[in-house]
Chain A
């Protein structure tokens, strides 16, 4: 396998879900561009981002699907869940309604992905602590009860954003290593790319990846 800057051994598919206005697109933008987008337009349907990260010395390309939050788009966004290895479920710590809707998002995430999909709960807008409407402790408890990983983040300052995306990848990688995630299973959400090895399904047919035209 040629060693180049765009080489990677795995592709992980992520989806970002949660109510409208919680900052899903801003989190994606902060993670891929390291910038806060103040006037981010709302998402219609789905948007797409990628970044190559490193976990345990392995280069991994994250393929991130950012979905529309409004209820009207639920039927369409459901088609994006298929084959996700990681799901970032986002609420806004300053708006309790967005937290109250988590169980419905979680139901979708559980029903539409595979049992090994890593679900990471993100309480966004941690920079607005003065407006806080959901305490850290109750969200932490919700996460524990449902077996989710959890962090409070700020797409604005960047706080913990990197960690949320990376910790999800580490957990997925660990699941691969200990065998709980079967790469040959359909819809694992992971595609392994050794020079001539088997490939996971449903991430779309990536070419052999030696030269990725987009240097993200």
Chain B
């Protein structure tokens, strides 16, 4: 107990400085942030370069960033072509011009459906995302819509699919399955945490068109949103959406190469990182390395592709993931350090692996939650 309080004190001493020493924060975070106050949320924002070390600038900086995010929402979520009632525009849904706003709108719908499918099944083991947020769309953004426009848009997509279906088969069966899929248990103005994550990803993808949405981004965003949305500080919690967005942007700028297919075989791509895991393993545990690669012919892409791509979010419970991220975000080599964590994970189960044949070893390697 005393030790825990002591730890909080240590953090507070550093965080209460006018200009925070990032070096000291990194040192402290590396052995884990305490749950108290909003220490973790604040530290992560510092570590991800979202807020500056000068504490006096925080207020104005956060205000500016949160306002810019609200502008993105306004432009990309609120004002889509379907809500554009200006009859003077020449654009229309059947416009075949690739530059047409409607053409883009339908392309975005495909991406939105993809994001939607993945966000609904975000961390199924944890109830958090299936709970309502206290700060839904209507409360956070100035808008004449009380409800998240994306929900309406998704419902529209499901509906048009239903219409096509009835035309084709020629019956007028009402479809219950589609209805069930829409988050209708919540009334207008309420929304689930996963819907907030969905909106952040939609905005991120719209702003990073070249990269697009890749499965796994939803997992990477998880620990950030969870940390900010459960921040004991009310203003932090209220602005979790905007803060998560910016921190996610900064985090992705460091790990995005993992998500880009054309870089797979390059020095910065995922294949190289998986090889690094095996190279380090060879040095620190040669017998295990030999058993895996020579005896079993297990390739790193059979197990550590997921570990690296989604930064271990799938291998542990969220509270443990958050703890690992404390170290990962504060280590000076940051994502190179991930390689060593992967090797540590292998070391932990080495005894098990060394006894097993190919099938059983692979199952052990792939099991979630250490």
Partner of B357, one of A72, A75, A130, A205: A205
Also in contact, A128 and B366, with CB within 8 A (given A41-B124, A45-B305, A72-B261): no
A142 at the B interface (CB under 8 A)? no
Chain A hits for B175, CB < 8 A: 130-131
Interface residues on A, range: 35 or more
Also in contact, A131 and B357, with CB within 8 A (given A42-B215, A68-B215): no
Chain B hits for A131, CB < 8 A: 161-162, 165, 175, 177-178
- Which residue in chain B gives the minimum CB-CB distance to A208? B357
B38 at the A interface (CB under 8 A)? no
Chain B 164-208 interface mask (CB, 8 Å, partner A; 1/0): 110011000101111000000000000000000000000000000
Interface hits, B335-370 → A, CB 8 Å:
355-360, 362-363, 366
A30 at the B interface (CB under 8 A)? no
Instruction: Report whether A205 and B297 are in contact in the complex, using a CB–CB cutoff of 8 Å.
Output: yes
Partner of B177, one of A50, A68, A76, A130: A130
Chain B hits for A61, CB < 8 A: 359
Partner of B214, one of A47, A50, A70, A212: A70
Chain A 190-216 interface mask (CB, 8 Å, partner B; 1/0): 000000000000111111010011100
Give A106 to B126 CA distance when docked, in angstroms: 37
Instruction: Report whether B121 and A39 are in contact in the complex, using a CB–CB cutoff of 8 Å.
Output: yes
Interface hits, A111-169 → B, CB 8 Å:
128, 130-133
Instruction: Report whether A20 and B362 are in contact in the complex, using a CB–CB cutoff of 8 Å.
Output: no
Chain B hits for A75, CB < 8 A: 261, 264-265
Give A79 to B117 CA distance when docked, in angstroms: 26
Partner of A48, one of B215, B309, B355, B363: B363
Instruction: Report whether A204 and B359 are in contact in the complex, using a CB–CB cutoff of 8 Å.
Output: yes
Instruction: Report whether B173 and A44 are in contact in the complex, using a CB–CB cutoff of 8 Å.
Output: no
B301 at the A interface (CB under 8 A)? yes
- Which residue in chain A gives the minimum CB-CB distance to B366? A48
- Which residue in chain B gives the minimum CB-CB distance to A63? B359
Instruction: Report whether A50 and B298 are in contact in the complex, using a CB–CB cutoff of 8 Å.
Output: no
A40 at the B interface (CB under 8 A)? yes
- Which residue in chain B gives the minimum CB-CB distance to A214? B360
Partner of A212, one of B124, B215, B296, B360: B360
Chain B 125-164 interface mask (CB, 8 Å, partner A; 1/0): 0000000000000000000000000000000000001101
- The size of the chain B interface, using a CB distance under 8 A, is 49
Partner of B124, one of A39, A202, A205: A39
- Which residue in chain B gives the minimum CB-CB distance to A39? B124
Interface hits, A39-75 → B, CB 8 Å:
39-42, 44-48, 50, 61, 63, 68, 70-75
Instruction: Report whether A206 and B358 are in contact in the complex, using a CB–CB cutoff of 8 Å.
Output: yes
Chain A hits for B297, CB < 8 A: 202, 204-205
Give A159 to B13 CA distance when docked, in angstroms: 63
Chain A hits for B302, CB < 8 A: 45-46, 48, 80
Smallest beta-carbon distance B255→chain A, Å? 14
Instruction: Report whether A42 and B118 are in contact in the complex, using a CB–CB cutoff of 8 Å.
Output: yes
Chain B hits for A73, CB < 8 A: 215
Chain A hits for B265, CB < 8 A: 75
- Which residue in chain A gives the minimum CB-CB distance to B305? A45
Chain A 1-14 interface mask (CB, 8 Å, partner B; 1/0): 00000000001000
B49 at the A interface (CB under 8 A)? no
Also in contact, A207 and B310, with CB within 8 A (given A68-B215, A79-B299): no
Chain B 107-124 interface mask (CB, 8 Å, partner A; 1/0): 000000010011001111
Chain A hits for B299, CB < 8 A: 79
Smallest beta-carbon distance B191→chain A, Å? 19
Smallest beta-carbon distance A76→chain B, Å? 6
Instruction: Report whether A213 and B215 are in contact in the complex, using a CB–CB cutoff of 8 Å.
Output: no
Give A71 to B213 CA distance when docked, in angstroms: 11
Instruction: Report whether A76 and B301 are in contact in the complex, using a CB–CB cutoff of 8 Å.
Output: yes
Chain A hits for B366, CB < 8 A: 47-48
- Which residue in chain B gives the minimum CB-CB distance to A207? B357
- Which residue in chain A gives the minimum CB-CB distance to B178? A131
Chain A hits for B362, CB < 8 A: 48, 204
Smallest beta-carbon distance A190→chain B, Å? 14
Smallest beta-carbon distance A12→chain B, Å? 12
Instruction: Report whether A72 and B358 are in contact in the complex, using a CB–CB cutoff of 8 Å.
Output: no
Give A63 to B362 CA distance when docked, in angstroms: 11
Instruction: Report whether B357 and A209 are in contact in the complex, using a CB–CB cutoff of 8 Å.
Output: yes
Partner of A205, one of B296, B310, B355: B296
Smallest beta-carbon distance A186→chain B, Å? 13
Also in contact, A72 and B165, with CB within 8 A (given A20-B114, A45-B301): no
Chain B hits for A214, CB < 8 A: 359-360, 363
B259 at the A interface (CB under 8 A)? yes
Chain A hits for B272, CB < 8 A: none
Apart from A45-B306, A204-B359, A212-B357, 13 more pairs, CB < 8 Å:
A39-B121, A40-B121, A40-B124, A41-B122, A41-B124, A71-B261, A128-B177, A131-B161, A133-B165, A133-B168, A204-B297, A205-B296, A206-B359
9 closest cross-chain pairs (CB), A and B: A204-B358, A45-B305, A39-B124, A207-B357, A44-B306, A206-B357, A214-B360, A45-B306, A70-B215
